[in-house]
């Protein structure tokens, strides 16, 4: 089956996806942040990467940029697992990903995870323009405010010489 890398700072999500995919015959590697993921990517080329956007050290946005720059990862399917999908409605293709799954109840995430796995069929084009699982979650104002503050901080840091 497929070799899959899961990048998330939430140990519950890592365990959930390992427990979901290993019995199906997939080899699942995990990384707790973007820096650890870079180390894994230096050792192997996965068929798919599931990654969180909000992580310490090297976040998912920064990791996406690294993935896009590496020629050997061009055929790797990248799926965003986002706890902030309802706060920031986004098109996965704009971010450079093939699909996006909103983090929500684990049982409701399972079919979405299976629907985006690499296999014999190509990923449906509409999956790169929508966020799967949004109907199970609702926007949170506090999360939106924290994300806005983080974005302002990143903007300031990027302009420091």
43 contact partners, CB below 8 Å, separation of at least 6: none
Determine the pLDDT at residue 127: 55
Block mean pLDDT (10 aa), the chain, length 161: 94 97 97 96 96 87 92 93 64 76 87 85 59 60 59 74 69
DSSP state of 9: S
Q: Which of 107, 5, 105 is nearest to 46 (CA)?
A: 5
Determine the pLDDT at residue 6: 98
145 contact partners, CB below 8 Å, separation of at least 6: none
Determine the pLDDT at residue 84: 65
Determine the pLDDT at residue 17: 97
Determine the pLDDT at residue 1: 80
Query: In terms of C-beta density within 10 A (0-12 exposed, 13-18 middle, 19 or more buried), how is residue 27 classed?
Result: middle
Determine the pLDDT at residue 105: 84
Residue for token pair 């190509």: 122
The answer to whether 47 and 1 are in contact (CB under 8 A) is no
Determine the pLDDT at residue 18: 98
pTM over 0.85: no
Phi/psi of residue 40, nearest 5 degrees: -65, -45
Q: In what order do the strands lie in the sheet with 131-132?
A: 27-31, 3-7, 48-52, 77-82, 99-102, 131-132
Compute the distance between CA of residue 2 and CA of residue 129 in angstroms, rounded to an integer.
24
């Amino acid at each position: 089956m497929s070799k899959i890398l899961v990048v998330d700072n939430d140990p519950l999500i890592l365990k959930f996806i390992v427990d979901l995919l290993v019995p199906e015959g997939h080899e699942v590697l995990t990384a707790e942040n973007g820096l650890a993921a870079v180390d894994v990517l230096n050792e192997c080329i996965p068929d798919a990467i599931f990654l969180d956007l909000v992580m310490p050290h090297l976040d998912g946005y920064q990791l996406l940029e690294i993935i896009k720059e590496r020629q050997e990862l061009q055929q790797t399917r990248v799926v965003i697992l986002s706890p902030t999908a309802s706060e920031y409605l986004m098109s996965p293709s704009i971010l450079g990903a093939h699909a996006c799954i909103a983090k929500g109840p684990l049982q409701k995430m399972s079919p979405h995870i299976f629907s985006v796995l690499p296999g014999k069929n190509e990923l449906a084009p509409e999956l790169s323009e929508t966020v799967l699982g949004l109907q199970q979650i609702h926007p949170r104002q506090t999360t939106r405010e924290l994300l806005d503050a983080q974005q302002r901080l990143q903007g300031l840091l990027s302009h420091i010489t």
